[in-house]
Structure 1
Amino acid sequence: MEAIQPCLTAVVRKELVKHQDQDVKVLLATCFCEMTRITAPEAPYSDDLLRTIFRLIVGTFGGLADVNSHYFSRRVAILEIVARYWACVVMLDLECNDLITDMFRTFLEIVR
């Protein structure tokens, strides 16, 4: 944990987390997923910060409808990590029910 602490701190800077560019959001969500994967089963961030991170991650799923996007494979990788490491359970523990609803609504819209 000590070795990756600078990375954990760098990716949660406000100017990154609140960035408006969709490409930055996808890349940041990828970083968060990898950090979470590396530190599992311990969460590397506070509950409030995790809620913000999950909001960012769920927001990237809307782009799964565009299979020609240059970030499509990254979005799929994010989805795989969320599924593999049971992030939905963590989201439920954090009472992110609205995000889970949004996530499944997005998936159903994409499939439709």
Structure 2
Amino acid sequence: MTSFDKELEKQLKETGNRLLNPPSSIDDLFILLDEIKNLLTYVEQAPSKLMRDALLPLVKALITNKLLRNAEMDMKISVVSCITEITRITAPDTPYKDEQMKEIFQLIVAAFETLSNLATHSYTKVVSILDTVTKVKLP
């Protein structure tokens, strides 16, 4: 394991634990989710057990009602952007139960429906979700 991987694991655990107790400021929450999304892009599909363990706080935090069922579509898109990365990382296994995955896929479809509006705050995140979905490698 490289020092980069060790540092990445550490940062994933830290941000996951921070997300379990999310900031009250919506702006700070967006910043934290952007940081998480960025970190997740460095994790390869089918990671080591240590890396999977480092992801557990994030997997748990992202599915909470406060995040996944947030009233703001931009927030939902930021959350789904992170979940899509986790789904890529854990594929072909799913990180959540079937009912939760159904809800996540519904949010992904809802996010794709916003693609026609280039002026939205989340346009680049939706494009990123689409890109991540296309990168999933199945055996």
**TM-score, normalised on structure 2?**
0.58
Q: Which one of 83, 105, 108 corresponds to residue 32 of structure 1?
A: 83
Identity across the alignment (%): 34
The CA deviation at 1:85 is 2.3
Structure 1 residue ranges, 4+ long, deviating more than 3 angstroms after superposition: none
Partner in structure 2 of residue 45 of structure 1: 96
Q: Which one of 63, 73, 76 corresponds to residue 22 of structure 1?
A: 73
Q: Does structure 1 retain, via aligned residues, the 8 Å contact 2:74–2:121?
A: no
Q: Which amino acid aligns with 1:64?
A: L
The CA deviation at 1:68 is 2.2
Partner in structure 2 of residue 104 of structure 1: none
Partner in structure 2 of residue 72 of structure 1: 123
In structure 1, C-alpha distance between the alignment counterparts of 2:122 and 2:110, rounded to whole Å:
13
Aligned length, in residue pairs: 87
Partner in structure 2 of residue 62 of structure 1: 113
The CA deviation at 1:58 is 0.8
Q: Which amino acid aligns with 1:77?
A: S
Q: Which amino acid aligns with 1:17?
A: L
Partner in structure 1 of residue 19 of structure 2: none
Q: Does structure 1 retain, via aligned residues, the 8 Å contact 2:77–2:122?
A: yes
Matches within 5 A, 1:88-107: none
Secondary structure, in 3 states, of the residue corresponding to 1:64?
coil
**TM-score, normalised on structure 1?**
0.70
Gaps of 5+ in 1: 87-112
In structure 2, C-alpha distance between the alignment counterparts of 1:61 and 1:4, rounded to whole Å:
26
